[in-house]
Structure 1
């Protein structure tokens, strides 16, 4: 990756767009990513009482039970037992460790919602070349176009030192959006909206994503404002089979909005999706999720003012291997109100808390969003969304785990709760599928993610 580093260094002479062109950190600060900080900018040391351990490199080797690409992920910690369980009866004892969203879930479902807490394992890891790029980005990356984009970053976290130096909530937002998730992935998974009485109808699709920003053969010059390409085509139920969606995700969506196309198998027509951003409701999820709720948060940050609240210790979903175990049946996992706590795992981790407040004159169904970002991976583990009255309305949770074959920390299940409707939506269910996520497939050619390919791919 030395060529990439040279490219980044060469670009440091490009003029920046004021006034949002933030100051870069020094080389001496960046060296901390090799010493007292992890390559992602987290504090290597554990906490004062030892309940959060030191980061020692994370999990980089699959357990012997893992068979290879596409196999369901064997639990690398089968001997771990629940240390304690937080319930509505004892939640006050653990109040400082709970998010507002978790407290609201206890209030909404006092008899059934639980938080089983396990030993904290700091499993996050990434390939060495990503670590190298993080260090390069630390001294070159800058916010651009009034904070609506990022310049002079490639192949790694753009602002790994944001929590240590600038303490800029907007930089932390971009760290999540541009975090490491592999290069090219293929997965078959299901999603559904679970009704108040527990009923649901499953939609299964094959999903493919090419993270252009993380192409090891690419560079800043090749990026062309494209963060990733996403393609999904429906496999079931039969009435929807063949339908497809294609997304070209841009970095700066104010400068160049994301492009999306849909394919209707019945009409055999490809059409440009007019709007797939901000608070556009996702019809397939019964409107329980907005376009920018996906991945806990995504897209342009421009409708909200973002600020850093602080770094806190919280109980967040982590190392959730039981959810994707092939013995876990959807009918057992999907309860009325929330997923079955039996299959979840929470751990105490440090999180960076940032808050977005709707700007004056801007429109969105949420007036405030609070994000809890895992310090090790920059993944949002939990998100709280507030309505126009300032009341907590929706609670989103990403059940994280380490995909050790890559390695990468990513979600195994995303759950979006509507506290008022008492319903929730679920993405990435795959325990009943014959295979799961596969990071090993070769990157397709440039024509693969063009709208003209939708008709060919979206067949019944």
Structure 2
């Protein structure tokens, strides 16, 4: 036992403020159970890198010396003039001008920093679509409690022996230093986006000059984070006993969501992602019918935030990090009317903001016998927030079929970088869908209001 204390005394010094704030003390055998001294020392060393070379969520702290800056804590406070939760965001970078544009004509000069999907859009719309590139601002941040739990997850998280799930992680990124593609996908599924969400937003499908919209009432509970602040003594209600396996942390719900269409009959989509005994169980229920002419495959329930479905249908390969131009700190598009923003084929390029950031590249190949309209998915995940920023979707013929954009920005009231809206382009038809529009509303999405109980009927 003395060896365990010798190895972990630095950890206790780091955790003390958060532990004291929660009035929780950790049993001496919790972190060390099932680990020998060498394994524990290795995990402690990896966890220590989150306060040295890496950010608290696992990104590289240092910039690239040219156009990616060092991470200096992110954007943790609202700008002057932002007075209340639910107020439309003030763009903290409204005075900045684009450094340059990437268009079809100069694409060869920047091709190595542009995803195949964006290249395809630039080449399909050479006269109207371009990437306005702005100075890179690493605005991603999270509350201190999320940082503390992410640190602990490096030490306590175990991957499932018989499935793609995991044990014991909660309240933070489960794999901030990922070793595999599926771990990076789990990080996206369990990313920090608050404890709950209430919103009303529009989803619009655009085909040429024709538009069709659904207005959604959105309620989401992120129980993976919600539960961490509602644990009370005795400690067994909050923390797992790794020797016996009796714990709520082996049976957790990452999120629950319910979207109810406003003024469209009974249409309701419910979704939740559970992990039971380390294995993934995803449930979905849908009631009612889509409006006439609506294409529900253009943005399916598993494509919310570009991927929110089950990870079990794909083989995931981690291809490492790349420096890419991705949508980041996008505030301006929310201030524009539909006629200005929603052009034929794509959003108005002048409404967007691209910055160079490092991303994790994850390649997902459909498993033999699995069913999905996409044979392959390639995701580009922001290293600072674990939000998917871009996605390339390949059809059954192996050809690039659709392109997804997550219009990321800092929700500084949380704080956290989330997707303000997601866009999915169908390359063959020229149609696209944008989900999450809140323009024209006095009150936008709220993270501070409790959400009613969401029930998902499942076997």
Does structure 1 conserve the Cα–Cα contact (< 8 Å) formed by 2:253 and 2:275?
yes
Query: Are the counterparts in 2 of residues 8 and 152 from structure 1 also a CA contact under 8 Å?
Result: no
* Aligned pairs (5 A) from 1:18-417: 26-48=43-65, 50-162=66-178, 166=179, 168-195=180-207, 197-215=208-226, 216-218=229-231, 219=238, 221-223=247-249, 224-235=251-262, 238=263, 240=264, 243-251=267-275, 255=279, 257-264=281-288, 285-325=295-335, 328-417=336-425
Q: Are residues 352 and 204 of structure 1, via their aligned partners in 2, closer, same or farther at CA, if it must alter by over 3 Å?
A: same
Q: Partners of 1:169 and 1:386 in 2: how far apart?
A: 18
Q: Which runs of 5+ in 2 are unaligned?
A: 1-17, 232-237, 240-246
Kindly tell me: are residues 253 and 231 of structure 1, through their superposed partners in 2, closer, same or farther at Cα, counting changes over 3 Å?
farther
Answer yes or no: is 1:440 the counterpart of 2:437: no
Per the TM alignment, residue 443 of structure 1 is displaced from its structure 2 partner at its CA by 5.2
Question: Compared with structure 1, are the counterparts of its residues 172 and 255 closer, same or farther at alpha carbon in structure 2 (3 Å cutoff)?
Answer: closer
Cα RMSD, aligned residues only = 2.6
Q: Confirm whether residue 10 of structure 1 aligns to residue 10 of structure 2.
A: no
Q: How big is the shift at 1:25?
A: 5.3
Provide the aligned length of Structure 1 versus Structure 2: 416
Name stretches of at least 5 consecutive residues in structure 1 with no aligned partner: 16-21, 266-282, 453-460
Contact 1:207/1:230 (8 A) holds in 2:
yes
Note the alpha carbon deviations across 1:186-231, whole angstroms, 9 max, x for none.
Answer: 1110002111x23112111221111000012244644533111212
In the aligned structure 1, how far is the partner of 2:25 from the partner of 2:168? 11
Cα displacement (A) at 1:360: 2.5
**Cα distance in structure 2, aligned partners of 1:85 and 1:25:** 45
Q: Is the contact made by 1:150 and 1:252 (CA closer than 8 Å) also made in structure 2? A: no
Q: Distance in 1 between matches of 2:391 and 2:339?
A: 26
Describe the shift of the 1:443–1:10 C-alpha distance in structure 2 as closer, same or farther (beyond 3 A): farther
* More moved, 310-319 vs 243-252: 243-252
- Looking at structure 2, the residues matched to 199 and 24 of structure 1 have their Cα atoms a distance apart, in angstroms, of 60
Q: Higher helix proportion, which one? A: 2
For the pair 1:421 / 2:429, whether they are aligned, the reply is yes
Shift, 1:12, TM fit: 6.2
SS class of match (1:73): coil
Please tell me whether the aligned partners of residues 81 and 118 of structure 1 are also in contact (alpha carbons under 8 angstroms). yes
- Bigger Cα displacement from structure 2, 433-442 vs 76-85: 433-442
Q: Which has the larger Rg? A: 2
Distance 1:7 1:392, change over 3 A: farther
Once residues 406 and 427 of structure 2 are traced to their aligned partners in structure 1, the CA distance between those partners, rounded to angstroms, is: 17
Distance 1:341 1:25, change over 3 A: farther
